[in-house]
Amino acid sequence: MATRLSEYLVFVDESGSPSMGNIDPEYPLFVLAFLIVKKADYVSTVTPAIQQFKFKHFGHDQIILHEREIRRDSGSFSFLKNPVLKQSFLDELTDIIKDLPFHLVCVVINKDGHKKQYVNPANPYHLGLEFGLERVKAFLIQEGEWVDADPSRAIVNPSLHIIVEKRGNAEDNELELEFRRICDGENYSREKLNFEIIFADKKSNSVGLQIADLVARPVGVSILKPTQSNRAVEVLKHKLLKRGGKVEGWGLKRFP
């Protein structure tokens, strides 16, 4: 019998370094963003909207929207050194993201706090992955696509693909081992998760990964500077998962 597939895809990208050494005092966070999107919406709405934005500004869709390059006006985004052009570009991109149909989980790890709390602090990426996957599972149950594990019932939940960006052979192998450990039952509910990890090359020009990259840092900045005006985060607040009407602990998980 063919494996049942989920109606959803999940794209994962990060902001900040997962290293616990030489913590950047300006950005002592590691943020892991999980972009959850229905495949039908990804094909019909999400990808075309980003492609049209690229065609308008670059004349082709091979450009990769990278938050760091946009923020620093570097590479293909050097034209954004003009502050008027940059504001217009960012406003348009924010409006597009606002209207796109997707859900979001962001795990924000304060590395200073993590280091103070534990003698041997866990790898922030691995920790963020576990927290994020647990919330993705809760979302699928909430949407009625998954059911909670029940040993008395022979139910196999549909397989869900989790897409992450390739970093390097050593990092990817380590991440895959951690992913499989979590999915084999070493998670909060001690449940086997029918998730599959897919490593995508940056050059694959994945729209989902680009959006995940664009949203991760603004969420981190909003935690560091809660009083600072942040239109991107005002938009993203409506995308974060909620339980009982609350975002904290679900769509936005802070640790410690």
Q: Is the pLDDT of residue 30 over 80?
A: yes
The pLDDT tens digits for 192-207 are: 999 999 999 988 999 9
Percent helix, strand, coil in the chain, to 5, is: 45, 20, 35
pLDDT at 156: 81
Is the sign of the CA dihedral 241, 242, 247, 250 positive or negative?
A: negative
Q: Is the pLDDT of residue 153 over 70?
A: no
User: Which residue segments constitute the domains of the chain, with CATH numbers given?
Assistant: 5-255 (3.30.420.10)
The answer to whether 129 and 182 are in contact (CB under 8 A) is: yes
The pLDDT tens digits for 212-233 are: 999 999 999 999 999 998 899 9
Q: Is the pLDDT of residue 154 over 80?
A: no
The pLDDT tens digits for 77-87 are: 999 999 999 99
The pLDDT tens digits for 104-131 are: 999 999 999 999 999 899 999 999 999 9
pLDDT at 1: 46
Tokens for 253, please give them: 């998980």
pLDDT at 152: 52
In this prediction, residues 181-196 reach a mean pLDDT of 92
Question: Residue 54's pLDDT band (boundaries 50, 70, 90)?
Answer: very high
Tell me the chain's radius of gyration from C-alpha atoms.
Answer: 18
Backbone φ, ψ for residue 13 (5° rounding): -145, 165
In this prediction, residues 27-36 reach a mean pLDDT of 98
In this prediction, residues 53-65 reach a mean pLDDT of 97
> What's the chain's average pLDDT?
94
Could you give the C-alpha distances from 225 to 111, 144, 173, 220, in angstroms and in order?
16, 37, 35, 9
In this prediction, residues 37-62 reach a mean pLDDT of 98
In this prediction, residues 161-181 reach a mean pLDDT of 96
* 107 bridge partner residues: 32, 253
Question: Residue 149's pLDDT band (boundaries 50, 70, 90)?
Answer: low
pLDDT at 2: 60
The answer to whether 151 and 145 are in contact (CB under 8 A) is: no
The pLDDT tens digits for 86-106 are: 999 999 999 999 999 999 999
Comparing CA positions, the residue from 221, 251, 253, 234 lying closest to residue 97 is 234
